[in-house]
Structure 1
Amino acid sequence: MTITLYELQPSPHARKVRLLAAELGIPLNKVPVDPRIGETRTSEFLAKNPNGRVPTLEENGFVLWESPAILKYLSAKHPERSLCGADAKTQALVDQWICWWVGGPEAAIDALAWELIIKPRVLNQPGNDPGIMEDARARLDRFLPVLDKQLADRDYIVGPLSVVDFLIGPRLDTAPANLDFDISHYKNIDAWLGRLRAKPYWKDA
C-alpha cells in the first residue's frame, strides 16, 4: 500500500517523518506542497488537512496530520521495533516526552521560526519582535537543561531508540543554526545528536 507524504522539503516537521521512514525502511511517495505559493490553501488540500499545513500523510484514503501522530502511526507498522515502547511504562514515557517537547521547547522554537523566517519570508510581514524572541529563548533556557540531564546516562531519550528521538532530534539538529540560538554547552544533547547524525540516512533523508 502506497504511503503519500505531502510535504515541503525544508520543513523540519516533514523531515522528522522522512527520517523515521528511513529508519524503518518504509518507502514514501513524497508530494511537494508549498505554502509559500498557496498550495496548502487549495480546496483539495484543505479537504485533507483543514489546517493547511505540512506534513500530511495519506494511505489508502486514510489521512493523518501532526507529526507526532504520523511518527506513531509509522512506528506501529513495525511493532517488532518497539519504537513507541515495548511495555506500558516505556509507552507512557514516550507520551510524556512527546507532550513535554510539543508544549515546551518546540513551541519556543516555533515562535523563533515565526519571527525570523515565516513572517519575513512567507507572509511578507515584519518579524524579529524582540519581546517574542526574548521570551522564546528564555523558555529554551528553562527546558533544554531538562533534556540534557535526561541524556546524562542513556544513549536515547527514554533509553532505547524511540519515536521521541525522531520527534526532537531533527529539530535540534538544524534549528540552532537557522534560528540563532546556541545549544553547544549542552554536552549530553550534543553527544546524543552525534549518535543520530551517525545514522547513514540522517543527512539525506
Structure 2
Amino acid sequence: MAIKLYEGSISPNSRKVRLLAAELDLPIECVTLDFAKREFRSSEYLAKNPNGKVPTLEEDDGFVLWESGAILKYLASKRPERELIPRDPRDQALLDQWLLWWTAHPEAALYRLIMERLVKPFRGVRGNDPTIVAEAEEDLARFLPVLDRHLQIHEYIVKRLSVVDYAAAPWLEAARGPLHVDLTSYAAIAAWLSRMQARPRWASIESQ
C-alpha cells in the first residue's frame, strides 16, 4: 500500500518519520509543504489534518493519521519482526511511558524554542521572547538530566532500539544544531545520539 507523507523540510517531527521509514525499508512519498505559502493552512490540507501541522500520513485507501508518535508506532507495526515496538506488555508500557514523557516535556520545550528562534523570525513575526525562551530552557534543565541518567545505564531509551529513540533523536540533533542548546553536560545523551546517527540508513536521510 502506497504511503504518502505530508511534511515540512525543517520539521524534526517530519524528519523522525522519514528516518524510521528508512530504518524499516518502507518506501514513502514525501510531499513537502511550502510554509512560506502557508500550504499547511490550505483547506485541502486542513481536511487531512485539522491542526494545520506536520507530519500527516496518508495511504491510498484513504487512511489518514497525524501526530508523529502515532505515525511512528503505526509504521513500526508494518514490520513487526523488527520489534521496534516490544511484544511484552510491560515493555510496551515502558515504551509508552517514555514516548509520552518525551512528547510532554523535552520535546514541548524544544518546540517552544524552535518557534521563538526559527519559525517566528521566518514568518516575519517578532520571536525570541525572553520569558518563553527562559521557561523552555528551565524545562530542558529539569528533564534532560532524567534522560541522561537513564542513558548512562541503558544503550537505548527502552531495552533495545525502538520508536522512542526515533522520536527523540531528531529533536536533539536540532537542539545542538540550529537551536544552539548546550548539550555538552549530557555525555550519555551525546553518546546515544552518536549511536543513532551511526545507524546504516541515518546518513541517507538528509537533515534539511
Give the TM-score of the pair, scaled to structure 1: 0.96
Q: Across the two proteins, how many residue pairs are aligned to each other?
A: 204
**In the alignment, is residue 120 of structure 1 matched against residue 149 of structure 2?**
no
Q: Deviations over 1:92-139 (max 9, x none)?
A: 0110001111110111101111111111112x2111111111111111
Contact 1:111 1:132 in 2 (8 A): yes
Deviates more, 1:31-40 or 1:69-78: 31-40
> Distance between the aligned counterparts of 1:31 and 1:125, measured in 2?
26
> Distance between the aligned counterparts of 2:149 and 2:87, measured in 1?
23
Contact 1:75 1:163 in 2 (8 A): yes
> Distance between the aligned counterparts of 1:174 and 1:113, measured in 2?
9
> Distance between the aligned counterparts of 2:130 and 2:8, measured in 1?
28
Partner of 1:2: 2
Report % sequence identity.
53
Q: Deviations over 1:49-104 (max 9, x none)?
A: 11111111001200001100000000111111221212001100110001111110
Partner of 1:88: 89
SS of structure 2 residue aligned to 1:93:
helix
> Distance between the aligned counterparts of 2:170 and 2:32, measured in 1?
19
> Distance between the aligned counterparts of 1:158 and 1:36, measured in 2?
38
Partner of 2:143: 143
> Distance between the aligned counterparts of 2:82 and 2:11, measured in 1?
26
Partner of 1:178: 178
Deviation at 1:172, TM superposition (A): 0.4
**In the alignment, is residue 23 of structure 1 matched against residue 23 of structure 2?**
yes
> Distance between the aligned counterparts of 2:192 and 2:180, measured in 1?
20
SS of structure 2 residue aligned to 1:203:
helix
> Aligned partner of 1:45: which letter?
Y
What is the 5 A alignment of 1:106-117? 106-117=107-118
Which contiguous aligned blocks of 4+ residues in structure 1 show a shift greater than 3 angstroms?
none
> Aligned partner of 2:188: which letter?
N
Partner of 1:32: 32
Give the TM-score of the pair, scaled to structure 2: 0.95
What is the 5 A alignment of 1:129-168? 129-168=129-168
Contact 1:148 1:187 in 2 (8 A): yes
> Aligned partner of 1:162: which letter?
S
- Name the Cα RMSD after superposition: 1.0
> Distance between the aligned counterparts of 1:34 and 1:63, measured in 2?
20
> Distance between the aligned counterparts of 2:170 and 2:152, measured in 1?
19
Contact 1:35 1:53 in 2 (8 A): no
Partner of 1:190: 190
Gapped regions of structure 1 (runs ≥ 5): none
Partner of 1:79: 80
